[in-house]
Amino acid sequence: METYTHSRDHVQLHDRLFTTLLPAEQVQERVREIGAELTGLYREKRPLFVSILSGAFVFAADLMRAFDGDCEVGFVKLSSYSGTRSTGDVQTVMGLQNDLRDRHIIVVEDIVDTGRTLHFFLNHLRSQQPASICTVAFLRKPEAAAFPVQVDFVGFDIEDRFVVGYGLDYDGLGRNLPGVYHLSAP
Ligand code: 5GP
């Protein structure tokens, strides 16, 4: 059986050691800020938060609770991502049940890496004729952007290193960590 070790500075998941990048308190503070900004823009519009599964479920849960007004939430499962590299084509696996026409949509993504996932999903969304679309990404890797996508709210811009925590996993582990950790240099 593998040994699970977790301190404030490090966490070991499977065979890899990760180092703290964003402590939990910093994450929560930023989520509250974005929630307040969204409240100012959407309080009277009953927005539909659309969370891209699996990674964004933690961020979406906190973000909608930082939103002070009527809102709804839906989930969509899109891509496959294995190991520590972004691979494969994005595919819709699980669709939204909600009718998006004339709704104000807030797309909630965990991390924009190449931008492929968001680019694909925004094209899909536009075809459903919503009233408006806003994109929120918890993390963004600016150096890795290969697909042009507009991200309206970004939690944190980070360097191009593999991260875990706050919904993001390494081969299934690490989603429950309240902070964000990046791969320690080899
Ligand atoms: P993109 O389509 O922008 O290249 O990649 C987006 C998806 O790849 C994210 O939703 C996430 O699931 C995954 N991803 C990208 N970078 C990382 C990372 O550093 N760590 C983890 N755990 N997943 C990542």
Checking if the pLDDT of 135 tops 70, the result is yes
What pLDDT is attached to residue 86? Answer: 53
The C-alpha angle with vertex 137 and arms to 146 and 165, in degrees rounded to 5, equals 105
Which pair of structure tokens corresponds to residue 92?
Answer: 């819709």
Of 36 and 93, more confident: 36
Checking if the pLDDT of 94 tops 90, the result is no
Tokens 């084509």: give the residue: 89
Q: How far is CA 88 from CA 64, 83, 102, 114, in A?
A: 30, 12, 32, 12
Q: Which atom of ligand 1 is nearest to the CA of 52?
A: 10
Query: Going from the N-terminus, what domains does the chain have, and what CATH number goes with each?
Result: 33-76+103-186 (3.40.50.2020)
Grade residue 20 by pLDDT with cuts at 50, 70 and 90.
Answer: very high
Residue 185 phi, psi (nearest 5): -60, 140
pTM, rounded to two decimals: 0.91
User: Across the chain, what does the average pLDDT equal?
Assistant: 89
Testing ligand 1's pocket by substitution, the residue of 82, 86, 135, 166 carrying the most ligand atoms inside 8 A of its CB is 86
Checking if the pLDDT of 92 tops 80, the result is no
What pLDDT is attached to residue 80? Answer: 53
Grade residue 40 by pLDDT with cuts at 50, 70 and 90.
Answer: very high
Checking if the pLDDT of 16 tops 90, the result is yes
The C-alpha angle with vertex 38 and arms to 35 and 42, in degrees rounded to 5, equals 135
Testing ligand 1's pocket by substitution, the residue of 109, 110, 139, 176 carrying the most ligand atoms inside 8 A of its CB is 110
User: Cβ(86) to ligand 1 under 6 A?
Assistant: yes
Question: Exposed e or buried b for every residue in 33-54, given b needs 16+ CB within 10 A?
Answer: ebbeebeeebeeeebbbbbbbb
Q: What is the pLDDT of residues 136-175, one digit of tens each?
A: 999 999 877 788 899 999 999 999 999 999 999 999 999 9
The reply to whether 160 belongs to the active site is: no
Residue 122 phi, psi (nearest 5): -65, -40
pLDDT (mean) for 69-77: 95
Q: Do 93 and 77 form a contact (C-beta atoms < 8 A)? A: yes
